[in-house]
Structure 1
Amino acid sequence: MAPLLAVCAGYFMVILDVTIINVAVPAVGRELGASLTGIQWITDGYTLVLAGFLMTGGALGDRLGSRRVFCAGVALFTVASAACAGAPSAPALVAARLVEGLGAALIVPGSLALLQEAYPEPAARSRAFGLWGSMAGIAASAGPLLGGLLVSTVGWRWVFLVNVPVGAACLVLTARFVAPSPRHPDRAVDWPAQAAVVAAVTLLTAALNEAGRRGWSDPAVLAGLGLAALAVAGFALRERLARTPALPLRLLRSPAMGGAAVVGLLFNFGFYGMVFTASLYFQHQRGFSALRTGLALFPAVAVTMFASVLSGRLTRRTGDRPLVVTGMLLGALGLAGWAAAGADPAYPLLVAPMTAAGFGTSFALTGSTATVMGAAPRAYAGAASALFNTTRQIGSATGVALGGSLLASSAHYGSGVRLAMAVGALAYLLAAGLAWRCVPAGAAPAAAP
């Protein structure tokens, strides 16, 4: 249990910083004079770097040892959080958030790889992944409430300062209880492939962020989308030709690994896009305070811990496919319910849609995680974890960016939110269909060494 607690403490910080910032950004924008696009970059700069460098973090973990890279990420994340708290301007805060995202990119692949090493038996590993997912639920649940409480009392800078004691505790626990990881020094880091991933994520997120301000037909936006597509093609070509690819093509072509990774992208797109747009809607359209916004969002995140633990227990009986498909259908039903509720519905009508989306997303997380990690050889555990979490963070970044752009380009916040929720519901439906085809019906077999 001690290794699990140590690893999950680091992952807790990463997820907390995804959700805690949502209720704080209006206060940050007012104090630092940031525009809506600037607010998007404060939120998305973190997830952008996290998504872009996850593959690098996974490759470094496989080469240098997951524990060493994990600890380096925790240390960097903690220092960057302190810098965020002391940022004197919006550009300085964005820069510190970028560094924070780099630390998170070293933490996340190592967290799953360390659990893979500590719990090699499939049943124990499923339980560990369930608890890992529940830790994400706890962080997601605590984020809006804790953020609202801190902003309303001691100020938004404490949103980042809370990471400092958690990071210190994580380093102590990891050094004491987590065994050193095996190294594969012959595995060179494929820097051209890593650069292609960073370019693709950066260009895609930048284009979506700017679309709300410039318009979808603006040449800069279209150029960004086109260059992002070229970067993806360049990554695929490099992986085909590289002597030591970041992730072998035979693994990328695996229906279980590739399909579950895309499912992760789609459900993060739907869930985090919903949280971001709902947060802005509650504060700008309805005039809620930061604390009241956190309370309003609580139904969406309160069920995530319970759903992750429940799915971890059920997967040994049902296999992963029914749980992932069910979760995605619940998410689709929830966001479609919000879209159908009208431009300015009464708050009680939004409780069930938010609850369904939060429960469905976390219910599917354990099964999709186990599917990806079960399809990967142990020597590529870090790379497989990086692939899964890269696609998830790309989903988060694009969900936030697209949601913000839809709000900025709509004449009324309510209509923009409804459109964003409808797009999120479609993403959940696509994820359900993909999971039915790609996620194994039974428990995933143990990966080859």
Structure 2
Amino acid sequence: MSTPSTAPLAPVPTAVHPSTGPRMTGRQKLVLTLLLGAQFMVAVDFSILNVALPAVGEGLGFSLSHLQWIATSFALAAAGFTLLFGRVADLVGRKRLFIGGMVLLGLSSALGGLARTPEVLLSARVLQGLATAAVTPAGLALLTTAFKEGRLRERALGLNGALMSAGFTAGAVLGGVLTDLLSWRWAFFINVPVAALVVALAPSVITDSRPAVRPKLDLPGAATVTGGLLLLVYGLTQAGESGWTTPTTLAALLAGGALLVAFWFVEKRAAAPLVPVHILRRRSVVWGNTTGLIAFVTETSLVFLLTLYLQEVLGYSPLATGLAFGVLGIGTVLGGTLGGRAVGRFGSRRTIAFGGLVQAAATLSLVALGTSGGWIQLVLAATFIGGVGNMLMIVGFMVTATSGLPDEEQGLATGLATMTQQVGIALGIPVMSAVVTARMAGATGPDAVLSGVSLAVLVNSTLVLAGALAAWVFLGRREERSPAG
């Protein structure tokens, strides 16, 4: 494998307390706050328009069948280019890519807020997705290299996971509030001052490593993996919209799968591979990312399923629907703050498996939902408990997938992890939508929607359980505890 020669990025000095172990210094807290704020903002963008889609469609003249592309255009770009940009961050500098991505995010958000036609809005969403694909892996790599492997990194990754998941939930809440009180355009405009603040502070707060020698980018690998991911996400989106057996769906899925297989063979022969094959053979990378994919597919799609339930069965408004997800956000923040401690004490294998069991049990209870308003109590309780379990899985996945690698490969590891996250978010909704649509079989009304949601909830719970069992079996029994430092 050929890797760039780098000047090592020294972690910020850590304060050590004799009784409680390492503590973050003031500078580390500032770096953490800036990076987590940016990641939270990016996570909000995934979902902020979900409950506002009808209002956006009415305002710009989107047909009902094309509304999904407001979300899908963002997801395609974010999921398809994350791995490529994760490697680019290693080659050209993580700090540079992070700041450039934040600039693009601010500008594209302003464009979306000012859009007067569907074409301009979709262009803005694609640009937001590309900005997310740059900011997320670069920011996570900056985070992991600012804290050396051990308890402080686990704590930082726990907070990062909590805010990323909470950001997805907060996006639903914020989107409903802004749409009802102001306009859907503020779902875009709210990003502009936040991005400007991050861009202003980042140059003086964040330090970076720079490669002394920059090898050529693996263009064949970049083309095959990006094309494969784009076609795979597109095919699954089409399956949710028009069914699994349509020619467009089948062609996209087959072509996407063929390109991903080709990617493997390209990387085996590349002089400077985008993803060195030895990384893909690491058990922690393969099964850590597998469980992470399941965690993101299931929790984000559950928000979609419960949105259908609350609005189509119980008759909730977008604002009330968004507020109902606030309890889920509280659960994810709690799970994220506990996740780093759990990994440090019990190891990532046990943390992932236990979190998955908790999430699966909480999700399974939602199969009992009915058509009366009193069932909202079960929704709130199950989403809170499931949110805690989901975040234990996510923190365990992040620690597992980014541990044991040198700093010069952290951009690659975090690129893989964030690709997993974004592909999971992109795939969850179309997959569960396809289950709901198949169960409804053309029927309409609250009872038909409830039937479809119940089946999808059962599938969702089964997937989580499979992820927990995979972590327990394949991550290995002899897992070393992380060092204290």
Sort the TM-score into its range (normalised by shorter chain): over 0.9
Instruction: Say which of 450, 466, 470 aligns to 1:434.
Output: 470
Corresponding residue for 1:123?
151
- One-letter amino acid of the counterpart of residue 365, structure 2: G
Question: Which residue type is aligned with residue 90 of structure 2?
Answer: D
**C-alpha contact 1:333 1:356 (8 A) present in aligned 2:** no
Matching residue of 1:12: 40
Instruction: Return the letter of the residue paired with 1:238.
Output: V
Distance 1:47-1:376 versus aligned 2 partners, 3 A rule: farther
1:285-331 CA-to-partner distances (Å, cap 9, x unmatched) read 43321110112222222211111011112322111111111111122
Q: For 1:246, what is the secondary structure of its paired residue?
A: coil
Q: Matches of 1:422 and 1:367 in 2, distance apart?
A: 24
Asked if residue 150 in structure 1 is aligned to residue 186 in structure 2, the reply is no
Out of 292, 312, 323, which is 2:340 matched to?
312
User: What is the aligned partner in structure 2 of residue 190 from structure 1?
Assistant: 218
Tell me the residue number matched to 2:202. 174
C-alpha separation in 1, matches of 2:212 and 2:56 = 43
User: Is residue 241–residue 430 contact of structure 2 (8 Å, CA) maintained in 1?
Assistant: no
Q: CA deviation at 1:141?
A: 4.0
Pair 1:334–1:38, CA change in 2 (3 A): farther
Write the distance in 2 (CA, Å) between the matches of 1:344 and 1:357.
22
Q: Work out whether 1:355 is the aligned partner of 2:377.
A: no
Residues 121, 226 of structure 1: alpha-carbon distance in 2 compared, 3 angstrom cutoff: closer
**Structure 1 residue 180: deviation in Å?**
2.7
Whether contact under 8 Å (2:357, 2:465) holds in the other structure is yes
**Cα distance in 2, alignment partners of residues 287 and 228 from structure 1:** 39
Contact 2:314–2:372 (8 Å) recurs in 1 = no
Mapping of residues 13-28 of structure 1, within 5 Å = 13-28=41-56
**Is the Cα contact below 8 Å between 2:149 and 2:403 reproduced in 1?**
no
Instruction: Give 1:230's aligned residue.
Output: 258
Q: What is the CA-CA distance between 1:344 and the residue it aligns to?
A: 6.9
Task: Give 1:231 deviation, angstroms.
Answer: 1.4
Which of residues 128, 133, 145 is equivalent to 1:100?
128
Does the residue aligned with 1:243 lie in a helix, a strand or coil? coil
Identity fraction in percent = 32
Name the residue aligned to 1:329: 357
- Between 265-274 and 342-351, the greater mean CA deviation after superposition: 342-351
Cα deviation, residue 96, structure 1: 1.1
Query: Which residue of 2 is the match for residue 249 of structure 1?
Result: 277
> CA contact under 8 A between 1:114 and 1:181: conserved in structure 2?
no
Cα separation, 2, equivalents of 1:151 and 1:165: 19
Deviations along 1:163-193, whole A, 9 cap, x unmatched? 1111111112211211132225433321222
CA change 1:288–1:340 in 2 (3 A) is closer
8 Å Cα contact 2:149/2:482 also seen in 1: no
Out of 356, 366, 370, which is 2:399 matched to? 370
63, 73, 76: which one aligns with 2:101: 73
Amino acid at match of 2:412: A
Residue 382 (str. 1) matches residue 414 (str. 2): no
CA distance 1:148–1:214, shift in 2 (3 Å): closer
Q: 1:212 to 1:381 in 2, by over 3 A?
A: closer
Letter in 2 for 1:103: A
C-alpha separation in 2, matches of 1:423 and 1:395: 15
Mapped pair 1:290 → 2:326: no
Q: Which runs of 5+ in 2 are unaligned?
A: 1-28
- Where does residue 418 of structure 1 map in the other structure? 454
CA drift of 1:249 comes to 0.9
Q: Deviations over 1:370-395 (max 9, x none)?
A: 11110322211111111111122111
Please tell me whether the aligned partners of residues 360 and 386 of structure 2 are also in contact (alpha carbons under 8 angstroms).
yes
**Cα 1:275–1:90, aligned 2, differ >3 Å: closer, same or farther?**
farther
Flag the 1:359–1:30 CA change in 2: closer, same or farther, 3 A: farther
Structure 1 equivalent of residue 367 of structure 2:
339
The residue number in structure 1 matching 2:78 is 50
Unaligned runs of 5+ in 1: none
One-letter amino acid matched to 1:366: V
Q: CA deviation at 1:440?
A: 5.7
CA RMSD for the aligned pairs? 2.0
Residue 220 of structure 1 is matched in structure 2 by 248
Measured in 2, the distance between the counterparts of 1:339 and 1:115 equals: 39
Name the structure 1 match of 2:19.
Answer: none
User: Residue 406 of structure 1: CA displacement?
Assistant: 3.5
Q: Given residue 144 of structure 1, which amino acid in structure 2 is its aligned partner?
A: A
Task: Give the letter for the 1:330 counterpart.
Answer: V
2: CA distance between counterparts of 1:205 and 1:344? 36
What's the CA shift for 1:369?
A: 0.6
Q: Deviations over 1:325-369 (max 9, x none)?
A: 111112211222212435778222222222233221112222211
Name which of structure 1's ranges 152-161 and 174-183 shifts more when overlaid on structure 2: 174-183
The one-letter amino acid paired with 1:427 is L
Moved more, 285-294 or 267-276: 285-294
Aligned to 1:303, the other structure's residue is in SS state: helix
Distance, in Å, in 2 between the alignment partners of 1:175 and 1:388 is 25
Q: Distance in 2 between matches of 1:321 and 1:223?
A: 37
2 CA distance for matches of 1:6 and 1:238?
37
Contact 2:356–2:468 (8 Å) recurs in 1:
yes
1:22 touches 1:275 (CA, 8 Å); kept in 2?
no
Instruction: Give me the whole-angstrom Cα distance separating, in 1, the residues matched to 2:212 and 2:232.
Output: 33
Give the stretch that moved more between structures: 379-388 or 435-444. 435-444
The alignment status of 1:273 with 2:270, answered yes or no, reads no
| Preserved CA contact (<8 Å) 2:331 2:386 | no
Matched, 1:260 2:288: yes
Q: From 417, 426, 431, give the equivalent of 1:402.
A: 431
Q: Which residue of 1 aligns with 2:14?
A: none
